[in-house]
Amino acid sequence: MTSRTVNHLCSRFNFLLEKDLDQITAWGIEKWRSEQRKLGKATATINYTVNTLKGAPSRVWGESRLPFYI
């Protein structure tokens, strides 16, 4: 995973950085999505960011290393 992707995710989902993986819920992501819509973000932009988050674990595990430490 590139540092650009990591920076993108950290800047959009900074509220997740303090949580363990088992504390991250679909409801929390949907709440974030709803807030972004209220802020006027385009649906495509929101979907891009959520899809990047969804793909992050497979990229990290595929590289067999973590790109950053939480």
User: Domain map of the chain by residue range?
Assistant: 3-15+27-63
What are the residues whose beta carbons fall under 8 Å from the beta carbon of 53, sequence distance 6 or more? 9, 12, 13, 29
**Predicted local confidence at residue 61, as pLDDT:** 58
Mean pLDDT of 61-66: 54
Q: Give me 68's structure tokens.
A: 């950053």
Whether residue 68 has pLDDT greater than 60 = no
Q: What is the mean pLDDT of residues 28-45?
A: 95
| 8-state DSSP, 65 | S
Contact (Cβ atoms closer than 8 angstroms) between residue 43 and residue 37: yes
Residue 39 has pLDDT above 90, yes or no: yes
pTM, two decimals, is 0.70
